[in-house]
Structure 1
Amino acid sequence: MADRAVAIIAPRAWPGGLAAAAVAALILSALAAVVWRADASRGLGAGDWSAIRFTVVQATWSAVLSVGLAVPVARALARRRFAGRALLVTLLGAPFILPVIAAVLGLLAVFGRAGWVNLGLDALGAPPVSIYGLHGVVLAHVFFNLPLATRLLLQAWQSIPVERFRLAAQLDLGPRMVFRTLEWPLLMQAVPGALALVFVICLTSFAVALTLGGGPRATTIELAIYQAFRFDFDLGRAAVLSVVQLVLAGGVAVLALWFIPPISFGTGLDRPLTRWDARGGGQRGLDAVWILLATVFLLLPLVAVLGAGLAGLNDVPASVWRAAAASIGVALSSVAVMGVLALPMAALIAPRRRGGIEAVGLLGLSASPLMIGTGWFILINPVANPAALALPVTALVNALMALPFVLRILVPRLRDTLLQYGRLGAALDMRGWALWRWVLLPRLRPQLGFAAGLTGALSMGDLGVIALFADPERATLPLQMYRLMGAYRMEAAAGAALILLVLALGVFWVFDAGGRAGADT
């Protein structure tokens, strides 16, 4: 029995502190190398300032459009019940875990020069549209982040107690008044976090800018770092740009720490709710239009990847399969590293609300993979061949990039578990491994499975650090696919995209389903 009243019993703090120190050391050492190598006296050239402006402009447009379009879509999903709704809401999480390079290939099939949209415009005698440049980058970012923003806002919408809608119905409040009194205050709380999150994600996006940007007028900071590193091998300029990227993204990420809500990708968010204010035919029609447009916009590129990929499987070279095996190894390694870092850090944050520790986890969101990769290249290059460490470094950086999302998934559930079972654990003097084995891990299984699946899928599709470190003998599947696209072997690239898509979704499904199967909730 405990010798005194204890409201909560928490796991030991030192593993979390050690994990947080390791994360901080890994990222800050890269930052220190970048700052040391950067030559502040050389300043920023006209091209660098152009890249900074383009980065901020595209991230702003991407965030505003993604969240702005997510508001009516989330509202429609919150107000309607229909066959297949749970599946549709679940699929809204798919673009966030899709390999970016594979999804971009699908967007090219729909909106590219020879895509479905331009074929339709040509048949109508209208001029074609181009997917390259600012509007192409923004379009791709909206494709990836509209579902994420919708899920965050839908989660917030369904936090409104049912009794408030019942009271609104009893007072005979119309849709406009319900929106003003119940939904508008909610949006004022949820939208800033969604905007901040999407903005930071778009600031550090690399693969989209690499494939759809380029040129003096459509170069992001990430792409400028890559060009300075890979083509000019100007480590000084790459270091200066990395510092600028960190300051820009880090400032927004610090603000996002206070606004981003806990992330839940659930299995449908299907809590029964009757919306008496939305029974009119006009309201139903408008909601149906928003749901249909969002569904078509999100599914068409996936259908395009599937169709082109099936046709191109016979053209896939052996190098794609070797790269696929490397990607699987990288993904599994990232999951293992994530578990070692995230679990003790979540256990330190949950009972004590340690904002400093959570801020350390958020470093992975503010420090771009290319910044970390540039720093580690500077550190490794004098003592070893960086290409030989390409795959381990990629796995480690991918785990750091997933850490902010994983902490947002694990901490709320862990906090609830400690509050619910803390007194009993204290009474039984349950500590250390016994506390984890019998109390925490069984109740964290669904969240752990989802977090592992998310990390594995994001790592499987990442095209970041590997683009800096890899040589012709080492490549992950996204990099190999990009090389095929650069060689204009589009059929083989489409086949590789399908393989990448199946592997990424397969990794996510295996971990997520494994976590939910027989979970003690």
Structure 2
Amino acid sequence: MAHRTRPLNLAVPALAVLLLALVLAPLAAVGWRGAGLSLGPADWSAVRFSVTQALLSSLFSTLLAIPVARALARRRFPGRGLLITLMGAPFLLPAVVAVLGLLAIFGRSGLLNSALQALSLPPISIYGLHGVVLAHIFLNLPLATRMILQGWLAIPAERIRLAQSLGFGPAETFRHLEAPMLREVLPGVALVIMVVCLTSFAVVITLGGGPKATTIELAIYQAVRFEFDLGRAAALAGVQVAVGAVAALAAWTFARPAGFGAGLDRGLPLSAPGGWRRGADSVALLAATLFLTLPLIAVFLRGLPGLADLPASVLPAASRSVLVALTSAALTTGIALTLALAAASRPRPLIEAAATLPLATSGLVLGTGLFLLIQPFTTPMTLALPITILVNCALSLPYLYRILLPETRALHADYGRLADSLSLTGWPRLRWLVLPRLARPLGFGAGVAAALSMGDLGVIALFAGESQATLPLVVAQLTGAYRMEAAASAALILVTLSFALFWACDAGGRRAAA
């Protein structure tokens, strides 16, 4: 049996080393090319704007999520499960579609400005810092809500029963149960969202721009695509890595449990006070629901009439996006499963590093490094789609690895010794044990990877020409050309394909596990 496992024992470290090289080699190229170069005032302005918008986005997303999560934690109503599911949708929603939906509501010709015009009031502009922050709140409010809700649900039932037996009112419950939980949970939530916002590209390229509203990512894109100043792009990418690494380290440090200890049984909902508090909870839930659904409804209504007259570039771009998404999902799922199975029996620092390091960077930084590595040998445009697949794989891997690792550990603990005693190794073990038992998380993880890849607008923006453009890039180009109806139709196709791929993979995994 030992000779059968030796190839796997050698292949897994080699795979981990290749993954580390996929991230470290571009970062090394960025560091080498940008070493010794000084940034100008406009570049430092981009750094300040990046940090400012990320701080504001994380602050408002976290604060606004508190009343929504609290209402979900203590209220039971029809459709509650559907609303919680809705809170997970923006994670899979292509950012360019979210921006287009917000433009349909808050843009120059959106519903809000149309209403203001009818009332003879001055219009508002969504472009600039406030528009970027608004879009990030739309994308990250559901994430913050889900994370804070888990904090409420983690309060042990014994603590809640004790508070009820002591006759605690809402104020005492907040002081002794909720406030300690929030003090522990909120810093981690805010920092996680800040890390996400620091690497935002699709939002800023649509709603930002200009000297006063340019992030590091957008400055990198402009330096490569419009100025072809690879040294400046490399220097900016180095700063982006440093800022992202500091934020990621802070998030890792502060994202910790609330410290209540483990409960002895299942969770118990908090008391649901009536009066004005019931009204406040209802307002919070209604406002969050409208804020999340109205932009998507607006995209649907605006894009539906134009489906019969799509621009010629949309369908080929959609085909390329589906190809990239499926290839990236298959590759990422296979790698994540291999690493998770290898790490199931004992901690492996090399595997952990390979599966976690991509969180410290971004697609645009990796794309810049790969551009620097490839450019001396061939035209990067010719490799746009393969590079996009590789970068999407690297960026999706941490999510899939974390999804699969608990399941592979449970599988090893329950069936590992039995499988070893039966000499069940290699393909038979994969076919008869691993795949049936892990079908559900594998399907869910593949769906997440496909949806994330389908909506990615990062590295493809650096490399692609007209013949390599994916659907998110086409939507962004149509939006930039103010062809809003055509952009809405293309965005409707994009979001439909993204959720269809996720549903197909997730449903396939659930059926295989049945």
Q: TM-score, normalised by structure 2?
A: 0.92
Asked if 1:176 is matched to 2:176, the reply is no
Asked if 1:191 is matched to 2:182, the reply is no
Asked if 1:242 is matched to 2:237, the reply is yes
Task: Give how far 1:443 is off.
Answer: 2.9
Provide Cα deviations, 1:436-477, integer angstroms capped at 9, x if missing partner: 444433332222111111111111111111111011222101
Task: Give how far 1:25 is off.
Answer: 0.3
Aligned equivalent of 2:453: 459
Aligned equivalent of 1:252: 247
Aligned equivalent of 1:129: 124
Task: Give how far 1:400 is off.
Answer: 1.1
Aligned equivalent of 2:141: 146
Q: How many angstroms apart in 1 are the aligned matches of 2:325 and 2:443?
A: 14
Point out the more displaced range, 153-162 or 460-469.
153-162
Task: Give how far 1:492 is off.
Answer: 1.3
Asked if 1:329 is matched to 2:320, the reply is no
The one of 29, 33, 39 equivalent to 2:29 is 33
Task: Give how far 1:39 is off.
Answer: 4.4
Point out the more displaced range, 502-511 or 110-119.
110-119
Point out the more displaced range, 326-335 or 336-345.
336-345
What does residue range 68-87 of structure 1 map to in structure 2 within 5 Å?
Answer: 68-87=63-82
Task: Give how far 1:124 is off.
Answer: 3.2
2:172 is aligned with what amino acid?
M
Instruction: Kindly indicate whether the alpha-carbon contact (under 8 Å) linking 1:17 and 1:348 is maintained by their aligned counterparts in 2.
Output: no
User: Are residues 159 and 416 of structure 1, via their aligned partners in 2, closer, same or farther at CA, if it must alter by over 3 Å?
Assistant: farther
Instruction: Kindly indicate whether the alpha-carbon contact (under 8 Å) linking 1:257 and 1:362 is maintained by their aligned counterparts in 2.
Output: no
User: Are residues 179 and 442 of structure 1, via their aligned partners in 2, closer, same or farther at CA, if it must alter by over 3 Å?
Assistant: farther
Secondary structure of 2:378's counterpart equals: coil
2:508 is aligned with what amino acid?
G
Aligned equivalent of 1:21: 17
1:280 is aligned with what amino acid?
G
Instruction: Kindly indicate whether the alpha-carbon contact (under 8 Å) linking 2:153 and 2:269 is maintained by their aligned counterparts in 1.
Output: no
User: Are residues 144 and 261 of structure 1, via their aligned partners in 2, closer, same or farther at CA, if it must alter by over 3 Å?
Assistant: farther
Q: How many angstroms apart in 2 are the aligned matches of 1:393 and 1:128?
A: 42
Q: What is the identity percentage for the equivalent residue pairs of Structure 1 and Structure 2?
A: 56
Aligned equivalent of 1:342: 336
Provide Cα deviations, 1:96-120, integer angstroms capped at 9, x if missing partner: 1111111111100101111111222
Instruction: Kindly indicate whether the alpha-carbon contact (under 8 Å) linking 2:440 and 2:512 is maintained by their aligned counterparts in 1.
Output: no
Instruction: Kindly indicate whether the alpha-carbon contact (under 8 Å) linking 1:74 and 1:151 is maintained by their aligned counterparts in 2.
Output: yes
Q: How many angstroms apart in 2 are the aligned matches of 1:137 and 1:293?
A: 20
Q: How many angstroms apart in 2 are the aligned matches of 1:37 and 1:276?
A: 56
Aligned equivalent of 1:203: 198
Instruction: Kindly indicate whether the alpha-carbon contact (under 8 Å) linking 1:108 and 1:131 is maintained by their aligned counterparts in 2.
Output: yes
Q: Which runs of 5+ in 2 are unaligned?
A: 258-264
Instruction: Kindly indicate whether the alpha-carbon contact (under 8 Å) linking 2:132 and 2:204 is maintained by their aligned counterparts in 1.
Output: yes
Secondary structure of 1:132's counterpart equals: coil
Q: Which runs of 5+ in 1 are unaligned?
A: 2-8, 263-270
Asked if 1:52 is matched to 2:47, the reply is yes
Q: How many angstroms apart in 1 are the aligned matches of 2:108 and 2:496?
A: 26
Aligned equivalent of 1:167: 162
Instruction: Kindly indicate whether the alpha-carbon contact (under 8 Å) linking 2:300 and 2:492 is maintained by their aligned counterparts in 1.
Output: yes
The one of 332, 350, 357 equivalent to 1:363 is 357
Q: How many angstroms apart in 2 are the aligned matches of 1:437 and 1:186?
A: 44
Task: Give how far 1:356 is off.
Answer: 5.3
What does residue range 59-458 of structure 1 map to in structure 2 within 5 Å?
Answer: 59-258=54-253, 260=255, 275=269, 277-354=271-348, 357-425=351-419, 427-428=421-422, 430-458=424-452
User: Are residues 188 and 358 of structure 1, via their aligned partners in 2, closer, same or farther at CA, if it must alter by over 3 Å?
Assistant: farther
1:34 is aligned with what amino acid?
V
Q: How many angstroms apart in 1 are the aligned matches of 2:288 and 2:175?
A: 24
2:355 is aligned with what amino acid?
G
Q: How many angstroms apart in 2 are the aligned matches of 1:414 and 1:259?
A: 27
User: Are residues 300 and 238 of structure 1, via their aligned partners in 2, closer, same or farther at CA, if it must alter by over 3 Å?
Assistant: same
Instruction: Kindly indicate whether the alpha-carbon contact (under 8 Å) linking 1:369 and 1:401 is maintained by their aligned counterparts in 2.
Output: yes
Provide Cα deviations, 1:57-114, integer angstroms capped at 9, x if missing partner: 1011111111222222112111111111111111111111111111111100101111
Instruction: Kindly indicate whether the alpha-carbon contact (under 8 Å) linking 2:74 and 2:270 is maintained by their aligned counterparts in 1.
Output: no
User: Are residues 429 and 181 of structure 1, via their aligned partners in 2, closer, same or farther at CA, if it must alter by over 3 Å?
Assistant: farther
Aligned residues: 504
Point out the more displaced range, 12-21 or 395-404.
12-21
Q: How many angstroms apart in 1 are the aligned matches of 2:317 and 2:511?
A: 31
Instruction: Kindly indicate whether the alpha-carbon contact (under 8 Å) linking 1:246 and 1:366 is maintained by their aligned counterparts in 2.
Output: yes
2:162 is aligned with what amino acid?
L
Point out the more displaced range, 415-424 or 379-388.
415-424
Task: Give how far 1:202 is off.
Answer: 0.5
User: Are residues 155 and 516 of structure 1, via their aligned partners in 2, closer, same or farther at CA, if it must alter by over 3 Å?
Assistant: farther
Q: TM-score, normalised by structure 1?
A: 0.91
User: Are residues 227 and 438 of structure 1, via their aligned partners in 2, closer, same or farther at CA, if it must alter by over 3 Å?
Assistant: same
Secondary structure of 1:318's counterpart equals: coil
Aligned equivalent of 1:265: none
Instruction: Kindly indicate whether the alpha-carbon contact (under 8 Å) linking 1:69 and 1:146 is maintained by their aligned counterparts in 2.
Output: yes
User: Are residues 67 and 386 of structure 1, via their aligned partners in 2, closer, same or farther at CA, if it must alter by over 3 Å?
Assistant: same
2:341 is aligned with what amino acid?
A
Instruction: Kindly indicate whether the alpha-carbon contact (under 8 Å) linking 2:436 and 2:512 is maintained by their aligned counterparts in 1.
Output: no
Instruction: Kindly indicate whether the alpha-carbon contact (under 8 Å) linking 2:152 and 2:181 is maintained by their aligned counterparts in 1.
Output: yes
Q: How many angstroms apart in 1 are the aligned matches of 2:118 and 2:269?
A: 43
RMSD of aligned Cα (Å): 2.5
Q: How many angstroms apart in 1 are the aligned matches of 2:30 and 2:253?
A: 28
Aligned equivalent of 1:267: none
Task: Give how far 1:431 is off.
Answer: 4.5
Q: How many angstroms apart in 1 are the aligned matches of 2:125 and 2:47?
A: 23
